[in-house]
Structure 1
Amino acid sequence: MSVDEVILVTGAAKGIGLATVKRLAAQGASVILNVHHEIEAADWQALTAEYPRLTQLVGDVSDDQTAADLIETVMTNFGRLDGLVNNAGVTHDQLLTRLHAEDFMSVIQTNLLGTFNMTKYALKVMQRQRQGAIVNVASVVGLHGNIGQANYAASKAGIIGLTKTTAKEAARRQVRCNAVAPGMITTAMTAQLNDRVTAAALSDIPLKRFGTPDEIAQAIDFLLHQPYLTGQVLTVDGGMTI
């Protein structure tokens, strides 16, 4: 990694996004955190005390104009964009026959449309630079489906297709695009699972534990900086999908 890198991470307030921010910032990058709601002042002060090269931008990536404005702000302030991590995501789990259309679309809009919006505007910049890397956060659910997550699985499967298409289109200008597909990771989402669901999930994982946000951040870092890797989906799931 070059210490003058500029990297934008969406969904960066907590979990995988925040772990990725910290990892990249610790290596000297200027990292822009896109968040849906402003981080609490005390938390932001503590974060920037440890990692002074952070910038916070509030905005909903599912809105096209907001996505354009986010990229424009980065370019105005930094003059370049070396990396984009599309991590913003939500869930609204329900069995397919009970899932309302608006709840299906709300997940698609944040997860898939948001990734598309940010990729579109970042790619225009990176193609002009003739360098850059995009990492999309997908999920093993997008590869194999999951009961009660039709909307989430559809959004993540869409991200995988978007990743591969972006990689093919972007390669001619030396821009790369890859995806990471986490399995069961210890985040606020998995903290809501009851003991029965947690035990069932652990029984399917050969390593017999959930992953950590830091372990996914490590994979994202790798995908951002491996110069001959594009169009790939890196599954990080403790062996769950073997």
Structure 2
Amino acid sequence: MLVGGRRRLGRALAEDLAGDHDLVLTSSRPWEGEDWLAGLSRKAQIRTLHWDAERPELVSRMMADLEALDTAGVVISGAVIVAGTFPEAPLGSWTAEGLEATWRINLAFPLLCAQALAPRLAEGACLQFLLDTSIHQPWLKRLPYSAAKGGLASVIPGLAQSLAPRVRVVGHALGAILPVEGSDEAFLAERTLLKRLGEPADLCRAVRYAADSPFLTGEILTLDGGRRWI
């Protein structure tokens, strides 16, 4: 299951995993008009859900959808929570509404998803979270976002303890993979030891590694090309 499996890294993960997995994908918007799903459906069974973090009925919607999957005989063998935003908000521009929105999408929503998914995951499943290298070096122009990701990172070992031994929990602290439009890609690449940007394939390999490593839990894997050592 991919929570946020519609755009950018979520879509890249979906396209990779559909080669050998049936998938349940969620999005904050309705799925009509997503023609790329037709290609996935030729390789795997694809189910889509509409989970919008802005809706007051989110939790009841999640529980109803998961109950319907269970009734349909769907076994969730693993889940990756991809959903998030990357808002620029330097000191001096903060508002109560803006902070709440950033933390709702990047912290509260992943936690609510984990709470809903945990009892539905198969024994031995891995629950994975996409984080950010800002947990090591905060983005000064995105401090509220960095705070949200840092909060989520702090929950990883606690969730691992709470869900052990039935479910494992792993985080991925990502560097520059599919940078936002307008980014200085040459500068970002130079700010790594490997002198390159990450690729979606780097994340796909890490997600598969975590899913296939039954003795791995409570850890955060960093995929940043060594950025934090510069």
What TM-score results when the alignment is normalised by the length of structure 1?
A: 0.86
Tell me by how many angstroms 1:71 deviates.
Answer: 2.3
In the TM superposition, residue 65 of structure 1 has moved relative to its aligned partner by 2.2
* Equivalent residue number for residue 22 of structure 2: 30
What RMSD in Å do the two structures reach over aligned CA positions? 1.8
1:64-213 map, 5 Å: 64-126=59-121, 129-172=122-165, 174-187=166-179, 190-193=180-183, 195=184, 198-213=185-200
% identical aligned pairs: 21
Whether the 8 Å CA contact 2:22–2:45 is kept in 1: the answer is: yes
Measured after TM superposition, the shift of residue 74 of structure 1 is 2.6
Runs of 4+ in 1 over 3 A off after TM superposition: none
CA distance in 2, matches of 1:58, 1:68: 12
Which of 23, 26, 45 pairs up with 1:53?
45
What is the CA-CA distance between 1:123 and the residue it aligns to? 1.0
Cα distance in 1 between the residues matched to 2:67 and 2:154:
26
Secondary structure of the residue that 1:98 maps to in structure 2? coil
Where does structure 2 lack aligned partners over 5 or more consecutive residues? none
Structure 2 length-normalised TM:
0.90
Return the offset for 1:61: 4.4
CA contact (8 A) 1:112 1:155 kept: yes
Question: What secondary structure does 1:96 align onto?
Answer: coil
For the Cα contact (< 8 Å) 1:84–1:133, is it kept in 2?
Answer: yes
Unaligned runs of 5+ in 1: 1-7
Q: Deviations over 1:79-98 (max 9, x none)?
A: 42211101001122111221
Please identify which structure carries the higher helix content.
Answer: 1
How far off is 1:39 after superposition? Answer: 4.9
Count of aligned positions: 225
1:10 touches 1:87 (CA, 8 Å); kept in 2? Answer: yes
SS in 1 for 2:225: coil
